[in-house]
Amino acid sequence: MKFLETFFNGAVMAKYLPDLLGAIVTTLWLSAVILALGLSLGLVLACLRCLGRWYLTLPIVAFADIGRALPPLVVILICYFGLPGLGISLSGPAVLILVLAGVLAAFAEEIFWAGLTAVPKGQWEAGRATGLSFARTLFEIALPQAVRLGIPPLVNRALAITKMTALGSVIGVKEILSVSSSAQSFSGSATPLTMAALAYLAIFLPAVILSRALERRFSWAV
Amino acid sequence: MTAPSPVHRRPMLEINRLEKRFGETRVLTSIDLSVAPGELVFVIGPSGSGKSTMLRCCNRLEEPSSGTILLDGEHVTDCRGAALDRMRLKIGMVFQGFHLYPHKSVLGNVMLAQIRALKRPKAEAKARAMEMLEHVGLAHKADAMPAELSGGQQQRVATARALALDPKVMLFDEPTSALDPELVGSVLKVMRRLRDEGMTMLVVSHEMGFAREAADRVVFMDGGVVVEAGPPEAIFGNPQSDRLKSFLARVSKDEE
Amino acid sequence: MGDFLDLFLNFEIMAKSWPLLAKGLGITAKLCAAVIGLGLAGGLMLALGALSPRRWLKWPAIAFIDLFRAIPPLVLLVFVFSGLPFAGLDLTPFLAVVIAFFLNNSAYYAEVFRAGIQSVPKGQAEAARATGLSQPQAMLHVILPQAVRNVLPDLLSNTVEVVKLTSLASVVSLAELLYSANMARSVTYNSSPLVLAALIYLAILWPLVRLISRYQRGLAAH
């Protein structure tokens, strides 16, 4: 059967499996770093915005807007090809982490902020009235509610952005897509691409299904 | 002393041995009830007695588990697909929660099913809608959006929406229980007028005063069965069963 | 600073590369129109399928949605573009991009539509059916208008994502905006064309991103 031979060739699979496993590890650690950096930066920015100082709010809003409006690949290319001209040479993985964590931070800031504005004013007043400081009210009363509200959109967004680690293939990062693409051109078989698709499914399908479950749990819709 | 019995006329709505189960739970047990043309029948009973489910079975929003329902001699329970849609045109329903379409104006609410389901020409549908809005005293609100109306006004628009399809029978599912007390009167006024015009009506409601004054017959349901039925003066003045007696005692205590 | 301006904001080079970028912008526009149109239509169908009480419709629709939400769009694109020729299906880059992003994007739109339809109270459908409207009529005239209005910010934000997504088409050498800009960069050894492309994306998407933020705040306030 030609179809099987083309997309599920056992010999090709066996040959490139070790390379692919290495690439999966790369994709996983890149994703973990991007998630950790992006979410924490987004959270910090949303908290700083709560202070209500224009000299903080203005750059934060600009950052969040630009991060949400620009295609990540454009920024990746500018950083990767442009910065060396200024004497700043960043490796492929460094550029990928910087850009994607930045994009995730932009979205996360907006989601946390939307959650914070959705916490009723009475909650803040109750916190302050019981003698809590601004920071304590923020961390112990407002933020937990905001995070809870933000979890479903946050999970979806984090998923979408970790999937973008595939963009690393454009700037030579040895993640799943780039390794399988080069394997495909070496082997002259589409099988490595099938393996890549399966690898991504193995990583992200559980996450997608989990996000569905989370959404059901956290939705208290009308 | 009782009103002439309607049994010799063919009933407009006839419910025979209606049963409804949700899984293992039996909600309705062998309900028999018929409503004569032009009759106003009130269904009372404690909450959870199955009265709303019984009403919703009449237009098959709830699927009966067994039993038959006939409208003017035609089987409601046998209808499928488009035939059921056509049957529902003849059965007007007014819900407790009004359920006006929030994205359409008052006029749009009353015109939608006329145009789409009844296939009336637009001009005719509009004329009929205005006539019905006039009837419920809301012609001046034709261009308003539902959110701008009070609960009582919304309920009257919902009534007009059902009436505009020229139904043979009107079902009212607790039409006043979501309303502030001062708004109830306007809705009852519309229902009273409908009765005087000869509309056949089956009403599930807690408005005991209205039932006593306006109903031709009152049905008391409890635990999914019809416990007692009769003219209002008998039901309210001379209840037979213990269950009805204790229900009436509870209700009158609440009203004090 | 002089270096920076010369390398990133060189107006002379921007002006020179503009005709190329303008052509690319035209292709990006065509791509967006095709992917958004098909994605909306496919998404609506999938959402209706996923909400259907019929199992043979419901489960395939949900499987489709989850599958294509789990695979990174770039992987899908490379698979369609370089994988399918092995199966004897030679596609033009434009067609490959449209197919890949349609698959990805209809899954995302489907989730938005599904959430919207579920946000409409059950009583609305009952009221419609009680007045003799058929199931499709009730959906079309009563449920969908309310559903779309309830999820307008999400529809909009997904549409922004589609526009950003089209930049990936550069990877398969489709001469859209980013590809043209990167081409100009490699010819001029200067990043200004990429910056110009970024500015064009910003000019188109920033207003939309602002609008989404305002919408979300408006919803949160209610």
* Cα(C63)–Cα(A175) distance, integer angstroms: 26
Q: Is A101 on the interface with C (CB under 8 A)?
A: no
Q: What is the CATH number of the domain that holds A124?
A: 1.10.3720.10
In a domain, A145, yes or no: yes
Q: Is C216 on the interface with A (CB under 8 A)?
A: yes
Q: Is B161 on the interface with C (CB under 8 A)?
A: yes
**CA torsion, points A32, A33, A37, A43, in degrees to nearest 10?**
10
More confident site: A15 or C23: C23
Instruction: Decide if B16 contacts B29 (C-beta within 8 A).
Output: no
Instruction: Decide if A55 contacts A49 (C-beta within 8 A).
Output: no
Q: What pLDDT digit, counting tens, does each position of C163-212 carry?
A: 999 999 999 989 999 999 999 999 998 899 999 999 999 999 999 999 98
Contact flag for C and B (3+ C-beta pairs < 8 Å): yes
Percent of chain A's residues with pLDDT above 70: 97
Band of residue A221 on the pLDDT scale cut at 50, 70, 90: very low
Name the least confident of A2-6, B25-29, C61-65. A2-6
ipTM score of the complex? 0.89
Residues A181-191 have a mean pLDDT of 87
Decide if pLDDT at C29 tops 70.
Answer: yes
Q: Is B97 on the interface with C (CB under 8 A)?
A: yes
Cα radius of gyration (chain B): 18
Q: CB B103 to CB C124 under 8 A? A: no
Decide if pLDDT at A199 tops 80.
Answer: yes
Residues A80-101 have a mean pLDDT of 92
Q: Give pLDDT, residue C115.
A: 92
Task: Note every long-range contact of B49-52, with CB atoms under 8 Å and residues 24 or more positions apart, other chains counting.
Answer: B49/B221, B49/B222, B49/B223, B49/B224, B50/B20, B50/B221, B50/B223, B50/B224, B51/B204, B51/B221, B52/B96, B52/B173, B52/B174, B52/B204
Q: CB C70 to CB A207 under 8 A? A: yes
Q: What is the distance in angstroms between the Cα of A20 and the nearest Cα belonging to chain C?
A: 14
Q: What is the distance in angstroms between the Cα of C130 and the nearest Cα belonging to chain B?
A: 6
Residues of chain A neighbouring C4 (CB-CB closer than 8 A): 86
Q: What pLDDT digit, counting tens, does each position of A165-178 carry?
A: 999 999 989 999 99
Decide if pLDDT at A12 tops 60.
Answer: yes
Decide if pLDDT at C222 tops 80.
Answer: no
In a domain, A70, yes or no: yes
Instruction: Decide if B68 contacts B94 (C-beta within 8 A).
Output: no
Q: What is the largest CA-CA distance in chain C?
A: 73
Which of C:18-77 have CB within 8 Å of A?
A: 66-67, 69-76
Residues C72-96 have a mean pLDDT of 89
Residues of chain C neighbouring A7 (CB-CB closer than 8 A): 83, 86-87
Instruction: Decide if B61 contacts B37 (C-beta within 8 A).
Output: no
Residues C131-152 have a mean pLDDT of 94
Instruction: Decide if B200 contacts B176 (C-beta within 8 A).
Output: no
Q: Give pLDDT, residue B203.
A: 95
Hey, is A212 helix, strand or coil? helix
CA angle (A173 as vertex; A168, A179 as ends), nearest 5? 100
Residues of chain B neighbouring C124 (CB-CB closer than 8 A): 99, 101
Mean pLDDT score across all residues of chain A: 89
Q: Give pLDDT, residue C220.
A: 52
Percent of chain A's residues with pLDDT above 90: 51
Decide if pLDDT at A216 tops 70.
Answer: yes
Domain annotation for chain C: domains and CATH numbers: 2-221 (1.10.3720.10)
Q: CB C133 to CB B116 under 8 A? A: yes
Q: Give pLDDT, residue A222.
A: 28
Percent of chain C's residues with pLDDT above 90: 80
Q: How many domains does chain A have?
A: 1
In a domain, A184, yes or no: no
Q: Give pLDDT, residue B8.
A: 56
Domain range for A36 is 25-173+204-218
What are the pLDDT tens digits along chain B (256 aa)?
445 555 557 899 999 999 999 988 999 999 999 999 999 999 999 988 899 999 999 999 999 999 999 999 999 998 888 999 999 999 999 999 999 999 999 999 999 999 999 999 999 999 999 999 999 999 999 999 999 999 999 999 999 999 999 999 999 999 988 888 888 888 899 999 999 999 999 999 988 888 998 899 999 999 999 999 999 999 999 999 999 999 999 887 776 5
Q: What pLDDT digit, counting tens, does each position of C100-112 carry?
A: 999 999 999 999 9
Decide if pLDDT at C86 tops 90.
Answer: no
Q: CB C72 to CB A201 under 8 A? A: no
Whole-model pTM?
A: 0.87
Q: What is the distance in angstroms between the Cα of C133 and the nearest Cα belonging to chain A?
A: 24
Instruction: Decide if A205 contacts A114 (C-beta within 8 A).
Output: no
Residues of chain A neighbouring C198 (CB-CB closer than 8 A): 70, 74-75, 78
Handedness of CA C187, A80, C180, C11 (dihedral sign): negative
Q: What is the distance in angstroms between the Cα of C135 and the nearest Cα belonging to chain B?
A: 9
* Cα(B67)–Cα(B94) distance, integer angstroms: 24
In a domain, A44, yes or no: yes
Band of residue C219 on the pLDDT scale cut at 50, 70, 90: low
C124 → closest Cβ in B61, B101, B117: B101
Q: Which of C28, C31, C75 is most worth mutating to test chain A (most A CB atoms within 10 A of its CB)?
A: C75
In a domain, A13, yes or no: no
Q: Which of A58, A74, A170 is most worth mutating to test chain C (most C CB atoms within 10 A of its CB)?
A: A74
Q: What is the distance in angstroms between the Cα of C101 and the nearest Cα belonging to chain B?
A: 33
Q: Give pLDDT, residue B1.
A: 42
